[in-house]
A = this chain, B = another copy of it.
Amino acid sequence: MAEPANPAPRARVLIVGCGFGGLEAARALRDAPVDITLVDRANHHLFQPLLYQVATAGLSAPAIAAPVRFLFRNQPNVTSLLGEVVAIDAGRREARLKDGITLPYDHLVVAAGATHSYFGNDDWAVHAPGLKTLDDAFEIRRRLLLAFEAAEKEDDPARRGAWLTFVVIGAGPTGVEMAGTMSEVARKTLPGEFRRIDPSSARNVLVEGGPRVLQAMPESLSASALRQLEALGVEVKLNASVVAIDGNGLEVHPAGGAAPYRIAAKCIVWAAGVAASPLGRQLAQATGAGTDRAGRVRVLPDLSLAGHPEISVVGDLAAAQSHAPRREPRPVPGVSPAAKQMGKTAAANILRRLRGEPTQAFRYRDYGNLATIGRNSAVVDLASPLGNFRFSGMPAWLFWLFAHIYFLIGFRNRFVVLFDWASAYWSAQRYARVVTDIAPEQQSPKPP
C-alpha cells in the first residue's frame, strides 16, 4: 500500500507529571503513532518508596532518582520538558506552564500526584516537615542528624532531652518506616561516635490518631508491626490526636478523656495526611469534573473526565474506582502499583480512541500490601487466587527488599541500592550522612 502523500498529523499527547503514573503512560505509548510531551517540575523520576532511606541517610539521592531524559533517551516520540503546569485550558486544549509557555494537546494525561495535608494547620509545616520530594528528605535528614549534634553541645538536661526526642506523626506506611528507621539510626548507627551524649538514649515516638498502626493492613499484621516497632525501641501512642505543634514540641490529646500531654521534641516528622496536587482543583473547576474531600479529581470508569474524553487523570490525583466484572466498583488505594496500572490504562484508552474503538474501564489488580519497619522488620499481605499470604519479620523484610529493588527504575540504581543495603546491613552504618546548607548562625535544626 502506498503511503498517503500528506500523512495526517500525529496526535499530540501531553503527560503532566513523571511519577509512576505518568512514566508508565509514556512507556505504554512507546510504539504508538503519537508525539508525547512529558512535563514535570523535577528533572528526575523519583522512586518514592525508598525516599525514607534518603531522609534517614541510608541512600544518596541519585540512587533513587533517575533523570527523566535518560529514561526516555531511546523513545524518540517523547519530548521531555522541565516545567510546572499551573492551569489546563480544557476549551483550547492547552496547558499553561508557570513560565508562560503553553503546550497544546489532543490527549491529556494528568498525573500530578499529591502533596502533604496538614488538615488546615498549615503553620505546622515548618515545625513538622512531610516526606514527598528529595528536598523534603534532605530537610528531614538535616534535622535528624543536626539534633544529635546540638544535643552533644547542650548542657541543659531538659533542652538536651528535647533534642534527643524524635516524633513521627501518623502510623501509615511512611510513618511506620520513618519511626522504625530513625530509631535504628539512634540505636545502631550513631552509638560510639559521641562523647557527651548516648545516642541510644534517644526517645522515638510514633503518634497515631487511630486505634492501630498500618490501618490498611489486616489486624493481625498491624499487631505484628506494633510489636516490631516496639522491639526497635519505638514508643507507639495510639488513639492520640495531635492538636498543636510548635518549634519545641507538640501537644497530644488521647481519646477517651485522658489528660492531654505535651512532648518536648525538636525533630518532628509529619506522615499523617496527603492532599491532591493543587492542579486537580483547577482542572476540576475548568471541566466541571468535581473533586472528592481530599481534592482528587472525580473520573469516569475509563479514567477520563465527564464531557472530556480527551482528558484522563491517573495516580494519586484521581478519585478512581476499580471496575471488576460481577463486582461492585471499589475505590483504588493511593499506592504506586495502582498509579502504574492507571497510567497503562489511560495510555491504552488513548490508543483505543485513535482507532475509533470504545474505551475500557479501569480495573485495579491488587497484588497485596507490604510495609517495612526497619532492618529485618516488615509485614506482607500477599494477595493470590488461593487467598492471602500473611507474614512478618525477617522473611517479610527480605520479600520487601527484593520487591523494591526489582521495581527500582534502571539497572544501575538497582545494583547501587543493593550494594548500599548489603554494606549497611552488615555494618549498621549509614553512609549518606552528609548535611549541607548549615546556616552559620544556626548549626542546629531550624526552626531554632
Q: Are B192 and A73 in contact (CB under 8 A)?
A: yes
Of B62, B98, B138, B192, the residue contacting A60 (CB under 8 A) is: B62
List the interface of chain A (C-beta within 8 A of B): 41-44, 60-63, 65, 67, 69-70, 72-74, 76, 79-84, 98-99, 101, 133-135, 138, 145-146, 149, 152-153, 190, 192-196, 412-413, 416, 419, 423, 429, 431-438, 440-444
Of B44, B79, B84, the residue contacting A434 (CB under 8 A) is: B44
Of B67, B72, B98, B101, the residue contacting A433 (CB under 8 A) is: B67
| A to B CB contacts below 8 Å, 29 in the list | A41-B438, A41-B440, A42-B435, A43-B435, A43-B438, A44-B434, A44-B435, A60-B60, A60-B63, A61-B61, A67-B193, A69-B194, A70-B193, A70-B429, A73-B192, A79-B195, A81-B149, A82-B146, A82-B153, A98-B440, A98-B443, A99-B441, A99-B444, A133-B436, A134-B434, A135-B436, A135-B437, A138-B436, A412-B423
Give the nearest-CB partner of A189 in chain B. B70
Top 6 nearest A-B pairs (CB, nearest first) are A60-B60, A69-B193, A62-B432, A65-B434, A82-B149, A67-B433
Q: Are B67 and A440 in contact (CB under 8 A)?
A: no
Give the nearest-CB partner of A435 in chain B. B43
- A196 to B43, alpha carbons, bound, how many Å? 17
A438 and B99 in contact (CB under 8 A), knowing A82-B443, A433-B70?
no
- A440 to B72, alpha carbons, bound, how many Å? 24
Q: Are A436 and B61 in contact (CB under 8 A)?
A: yes
Measured between beta carbons, the chain B residues less than 8 angstroms from A83 are 153, 443
- A413 to B84, alpha carbons, bound, how many Å? 36
Measured between beta carbons, the chain B residues less than 8 angstroms from A76 are 195
- A432 to B80, alpha carbons, bound, how many Å? 18
> Given known contacts A72-B193, A99-B153, A412-B431, what 15 new A-B pairs fall within 8 Å (CB)?
A43-B145, A43-B146, A60-B432, A61-B434, A65-B434, A69-B190, A69-B193, A70-B193, A73-B193, A82-B438, A98-B440, A99-B441, A135-B437, A412-B423, A416-B416
Measured between beta carbons, the chain B residues less than 8 angstroms from A413 are 431
Measured between beta carbons, the chain B residues less than 8 angstroms from A98 are 440-441, 443
Measured between beta carbons, the chain B residues less than 8 angstroms from A134 are 434, 436
Measured between beta carbons, the chain B residues less than 8 angstroms from A73 are 192-193
* Min C-beta distance of A42 to chain B, whole Å: 7
Measured between beta carbons, the chain B residues less than 8 angstroms from A61 are 60-61, 432, 434, 436
Q: Are A67 and B434 in contact (CB under 8 A)?
A: yes
- A146 to B82, alpha carbons, bound, how many Å? 9
Measured between beta carbons, the chain B residues less than 8 angstroms from A192 are 73-74
Measured between beta carbons, the chain B residues less than 8 angstroms from A99 are 153, 441-444
A43 and B431 in contact (CB under 8 A), knowing A61-B436, A138-B436, A436-B134?
no
Q: Are B152 and A62 in contact (CB under 8 A)?
A: no
Q: Are B153 and A438 in contact (CB under 8 A)?
A: no
Give the nearest-CB partner of A79 in chain B. B195
Measured between beta carbons, the chain B residues less than 8 angstroms from A149 are 43, 81-82
Give the nearest-CB partner of A134 in chain B. B436
Q: Are A101 and B153 in contact (CB under 8 A)?
A: yes
A440 and B84 in contact (CB under 8 A), knowing A60-B61, A434-B62?
yes
Measured between beta carbons, the chain B residues less than 8 angstroms from A63 are 60
Give the nearest-CB partner of A65 in chain B. B434
Q: Are B79 and A196 in contact (CB under 8 A)?
A: yes
Of B42, B62, B152, B193, the residue contacting A431 (CB under 8 A) is: B62
- A153 to B79, alpha carbons, bound, how many Å? 11
Give the nearest-CB partner of A135 in chain B. B436
- A163 to B235, alpha carbons, bound, how many Å? 53
